[in-house]
Amino acid sequence: MKTTAYTQKHIELGAKMTPFAGFNMPLEYKGIKAEHMAVRESVGVFDVSHMGEFTVKGPNALKFIQYVTSNDASVLFPGKVQYSCLPNGKGGIVDDLLVYCIDPENYMLVPNAANIEKDFNHLCQFAPKFGLTPGKDFCNISDQISQLAVQGPNAMKVMQRLCKEDVMGMEYYTFKIMEVAGIKDVIFSTTGYTGAGGCEIYVKNEDALKLWDAIFEAGKPENITPAGLGCRDTLRLEMGFCLYGNDIDDTTSPLEANLGWITKFNDVKGDFVDRDYMLKQKAEGLKRRLCGFELIERGVPRHGYEICNAEGRQIGFVTSGGMSPCTNKPIGMGYVEAPLYKLDTEIFIKVRDKLLKAVVVRPPFYKAPQN
């Protein structure tokens, strides 16, 4: 099993460790709900070094990215990040990922931890068509990079203490390559997977521990908290963010997953993997769609539970579910047949052979109070 540069830190802090995507990762430290609320109310730190990093360089880098991803990367400029996905050529999704534009001929892709090898192999089949040589112009540098996600309403205030450049004024989904805590050439990105604000920071492995120690020292006034995978999942669910392997996979199309907003069919975008398939799907209408729901009756929805109509016929399945720590409501997401995915539709979740009433809602399930 792989470890990250921070594994010993997690063990010393008493984290409950668990295998995840081939890595030994912290599930929780003092409790999922406590860590969840720390991120929502102040600031928490996640080790996300298990995530992947690919570099794409050369005059055809943008053309390559345009063809293999669903979003329109032509709108990117140096310092801008884009959320996108990799269509699989069969109507499904290889992975969802972030695209970083370092300059017009230099990009970084950030795929999910469990899909690093799968994604790289998938992309290698297209790279030569754009004059890119795997291992030279298109590289997997995942094992060289450590990453921390500092998340919460106080995250940027903490990080500003470690940065000479302004980070408090950075726009959402942008990044800078700069010095952080005395470490040079750090990628500092205003992205995250919690909906609580904050940043994600990429450093070389040899600088990882220096970054960790500096962040926790700087965050003492805000009672900065280490956070594990458990609350990372509850936080993203409250926002309605998709988790690969649960809410999206090789059998779900971006349109079915409500990712039409990252699926562009304009002339600038041009042709891309599965473009014709998705245009046909869009024209004919979707037969199912991912929707959010709240249980009205008492119970907890879990991944894999059946979703039924009033007559008890199965119309879909739960992809993600649980109790929302911030609202104390049972919430979930799942694929539902048309037209039952429409807002306010009454559906039923089958829990231990009982049909529990729920209603279709539009995520996010929790909205942070505005300052």
List, in order of start, the domains of the chain with CATH numbers. 7-52+144-238 (3.30.1360.120), 54-140 (3.30.70.1400), 287-371 (2.40.30.110)
Is the Cβ–Cβ distance between 86 and 259 less than 8 Å? Answer: no
Give how far Cα 32 sits from Cα of 200, 208, 225, 342, Å. Answer: 21, 24, 12, 32
Regions of the chain where pLDDT drops below 50: none
Q: Write a three-state SS string for the chain.
A: CECCCCHHHHHHCCCEEEEECCEEEEEECCCHHHHHHHHHHCCEEEECCCCCCEEEECCCHHHHHHHHCCCCHHHCCCCEEEEEEEECCCCCEEEEEEEEEEECCEEEEEECHHHHHHHHHHHHCCHHHHCCCECCCEEECHHHEEEEEEECCCHHHHHHCCECCCCCCCCCCEEEEEEECCEEEEEEECCCCCCCCEEEEEEEHHHHHHHHHHHHHHCHHHCCEEECHHHHHHHHHHHCCCCECCCECCCCCCCCCCCHHHCCCCCCCCCCCCHHHHHHHHHHCCCEEEEEEEECCCCCCCCCCEEECCCCCEEEEEEEEEECCCCCCEEEEEEEECCCCCCCCEEEEEECCEEEEEEEECCCCCCCCCC
Residue among 98, 116, 95, 97 nearest 2 (CA):
116
Helix axes 229-239, 32-41, angle to 10 degrees: 60
Q: Output the pLDDT for position 173.
A: 98
Q: Output the pLDDT for position 369.
A: 73
Q: Output the pLDDT for position 79.
A: 98
Q: Output the pLDDT for position 368.
A: 80
Q: Output the pLDDT for position 370.
A: 64
- The neighbour count for residue 3, using CB atoms within 10 Å, is 15
- Tell me the two tokens of residue 288: 């199912």
